[in-house]
Amino acid sequence: MQIIRDLEALAGEVFALRASQGENRGDRVALVPTMGALHAGHMALITEAKRRADRVVATIFVNPLQFGADEDLDRYPRHEAADAEMLRQAGCDLLWMPSVGDIYPEGFATTVSVRGLSERWEGEARPGHFDGVATVVARLLLAVKPDVALFGEKDFQQLAVIRRMADDLGLGIEIVGVPTVRDEDGLALSSRNAYLSADQRKRAVALPQALAAARDAILSGEPVDAALAGAKEAIRAAGFSSIDYVALVDAGTLEPLEEPRGAMRLIAAATIGGTRLIDNIAVATGQSPRASSPR
């Protein structure tokens, strides 16, 4: 695996990846953008990228634009050497680790904003967050020019925003969502799980468990508002100090639903200790309740 940091070298290296396929130089390149602190969830993205493309490019860039004034930019975990080794072992072909100056050079004055999908849920809880996400992802996509880019479904609203942005800007890049990877007890893998104490980690599993219970209740005919109230009660009882939202939403528009209809997602964000966790699971009419685990 080659590692580069220089933006000026990137285009040539990606061209070389395509050219290295010889007569098949038109074969596909996949991009997996990350902020580092990699775990098995990121490796699932690499695995799926290798299935969908001939060459895989990963990026590590802790994006300052998507952190609010009171959020954890400075203490966000950074493990470049360990991350690079994980990517190498997973079969990544090229790792690009740009500087802030590469992504936002002096005088940079453009922000990408996706209206509608960005305005509820995480958009309300973290003002400006999705402008930062859409802007950096646009920069990465335009720099690498992949055929396909892969993102985790754990950040479900982010995935929806990126899909809309890529479609609206006519980037011609396939945006693929990869199912959430979970620990054995069901907690979604996240770089921020490292902030949890041992006790908080044990109690954090109440978040996916509450979503699974709400899904089962809704599919069994319980009113949506009652199922959501039960989920919030279970999350609070586990020791979460605050809940930003627990909602049943349309999987395409992310608009809240008062009754089950079509493809849906249960989404949630809550804080335990000083760590804010998000999660979501799929809900579909016709899906059997008591599914074995959240998805």
Looking at residues 89-116, what average pLDDT do you find?
A: 96
Query: What's residue 295's pLDDT?
Result: 55
Burial tier of 189 (Cβ tally within 10 Å: 0-12, 13-18, 19+): middle
> Which amino acid belongs to residue 40?
A
Please check the confidence at residue 46 and state whether its pLDDT lies above 70: yes
Q: Are 126 and 108 within 8 A, CB to CB? A: no
Q: Are 285 and 293 within 8 A, CB to CB? A: no
Q: Are 294 and 279 within 8 A, CB to CB? A: yes
Please give the mean pLDDT across all residues of the chain.
93
Query: What's residue 294's pLDDT?
Result: 66
* Residue with the two structure tokens 């996400």: 133
Burial tier of 74 (Cβ tally within 10 Å: 0-12, 13-18, 19+): exposed
Query: What's residue 68's pLDDT?
Result: 78
- Confirm whether pTM is higher than 0.95: no
Please check the confidence at residue 23 and state whether its pLDDT lies above 90: no
Q: Which has the closest alpha carbon to 174: 42, 51, 11?
A: 51
Query: What's residue 130's pLDDT?
Result: 96
Please check the confidence at residue 276 and state whether its pLDDT lies above 70: yes
Q: Are 98 and 224 within 8 A, CB to CB? A: no
Q: Which has the higher per-residue pLDDT, 237 or 79?
A: 237
Query: What's residue 26's pLDDT?
Result: 56
Looking at residues 91-118, what average pLDDT do you find?
A: 96
Q: Which two tokens stand for residue 242?
A: 């605050």
Please check the confidence at residue 287 and state whether its pLDDT lies above 80: no
The 3-class SS string of 177-212 reads EECCCECCCCCECCHHHHHCCHHHHHHHCHHHHHHH
Query: What's residue 282's pLDDT?
Result: 97
The 3-class SS string of 88-124 reads HHHCCCEEECCCHHHHCCCCCCCCCCCCCCCCCCHHH
pLDDT category of residue 76 using cuts at 50, 70 and 90: confident
- Give the Å distances, CA to CA, from 14 to 11, 34, 95, 164: 5, 18, 11, 25
Looking at residues 269-280, what average pLDDT do you find?
A: 97
Query: What's residue 292's pLDDT?
Result: 46
> Which amino acid belongs to residue 176?
V
Q: Are 295 and 282 within 8 A, CB to CB? A: yes
Least confident of 12-16, 55-59, 70-74: 70-74
Q: Which domains does the chain have, with CATH numbers?
A: 2-178 (3.40.50.620), 191-284 (3.30.1300.10)
Please check the confidence at residue 94 and state whether its pLDDT lies above 90: yes
* Residue with the two structure tokens 């990606």: 14
Please check the confidence at residue 290 and state whether its pLDDT lies above 80: no
Least confident of 132-141, 189-198, 245-254, 280-289: 280-289
Could you list the active site residues? 42
Please check the confidence at residue 183 and state whether its pLDDT lies above 50: yes
Query: What's residue 75's pLDDT?
Result: 74
Q: Are 157 and 122 within 8 A, CB to CB? A: yes
